[in-house]
Amino acid sequence: MEATMHEAKTQLSKLVERALAGEEVILTHGRNRTPIVKLVPVQVPVMRERPIGLYKGQIDIGPEFFEPLPDEELELWEHAANDDVLFGSK
């Protein structure tokens, strides 16, 4: 189907619906109705779901991960030197 630019301005939603339905929609310009644009649907990639347990058995967390942090390291997590600059002094 062909449509002029004026028709496209007033009937854009309908033209898009026709293009989505698979119809070829060409927009034309001027008295000669020169084809200038073709409306085509965008191909959206299908997103696959990631399977649960994708990395099972590939990552190892040792028992030291669950041990309490040393006091010096815990202090860094709880109150870093530049926290006052970032969040204001308490």
Per residue in 28-79, pLDDT (tens digit) is 998 899 999 999 998 877 778 878 888 888 989 899 999 998 888 888 788 7
> What pTM value is reported for the model?
0.48
Q: What is the pLDDT of residue 53?
A: 87
Strand order in the sheet with 25-29: 2-4, 25-29, 34-39
DSSP 83: H
Residue 80 in this model has a pLDDT that exceeds 80: no
Q: Kindly list the domain boundaries of the chain, sorted by start residue.
A: 2-39
Binned at pLDDT 50, 70 and 90, residue 19 comes out as: very high
Binned at pLDDT 50, 70 and 90, residue 11 comes out as: very high
10 token code pair: 């007033």
DSSP 64: G
Q: What is the pLDDT of residue 44?
A: 78
Burial 12-32 (b: 16+ CB within 10 A, else e): eeebeebbeeeeebebbeeee
Q: What is the pLDDT of residue 36?
A: 95
